[in-house]
């Protein structure tokens, strides 16, 4: 848990290593969690320091901080995640299965993360996506 929070605060981007493990460090959920956590830290810090330091006229710095430290890194993380998950979809059986949830690198049926090395059903419950209505 501590490592996960440190990953989020370091704006770590998705890497190919996440395709090999069933505990990926970046998913859509972790990107959203990162936005909430980083925004909370910046907004709390602004409440704590703006009034005591008499720097109200520099309120726009907070907007730049939110853009540069929260939204832009989150956007980069999300782009990088989507690129990686596309590769994973192309390389694994789960990528063509209707039970695969690409937003979380998860199998909805087994409620587990999937990876190149871990297909929870071992192919037994695979159902093609194109039969979904
Ligand atoms: S049912 Fe099997 S093939 Fe389909 S997503 Fe889950 S683990 Fe992958």
- Judge if the beta carbon of residue 109 lies within 6 A of ligand 1: yes
Indicate the domain borders of the chain.
2-131
88 ligand 1 Cβ < 6 A: no
- The tokens for 118 are 């871990």
For 80-102, the pLDDT digits (tens) are 999 999 999 999 999 999 999 99
CB of 113 sitting under 6 A from ligand 1: no
Measuring from atom 6 of ligand 1, which residue has the nearest CA?
Answer: 107
Q: With a threshold of 0.85, does the pTM exceed it? A: no
Q: Cα(123) to centroid of ligand 1, in Å?
A: 6
122-127's contacts with Cβ under 8 Å and 24+ in sequence apart are 123/93, 125/97, 125/99, 126/93, 126/94, 126/96, 126/97, 127/97, 127/98, 127/99
Q: Token pair of 132, please?
A: 């979904």
* pLDDT tens sequence across 5-18: 666 666 666 677 77
């Amino acid at each position: 848990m501590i490592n996960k929070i440190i990953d989020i605060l370091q704006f770590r981007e998705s890497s190919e290593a996440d395709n090999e493990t069933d505990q990926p460090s970046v998913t859509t959920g972790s990107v959203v969690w990162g936005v909430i956590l980083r925004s909370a830290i910046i907004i709390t810090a602004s409440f704590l320091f703006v009034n005591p330091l008499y720097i109200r006229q520099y309120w726009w710095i907070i907007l730049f901080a939110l853009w540069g430290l929260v939204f832009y890194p989150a956007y980069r993380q999300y782009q990088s995640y989507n690129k990686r998950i596309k590769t994973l979809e192309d390389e694994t059986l789960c990528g063509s299965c209707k039970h695969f949830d690409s937003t979380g690198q998860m199998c909805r049926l087994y409620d587990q993360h999937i990876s190149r090395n871990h297909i929870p059903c071992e192919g037994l419950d695979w159902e093609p996506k194109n039969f979904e209505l």
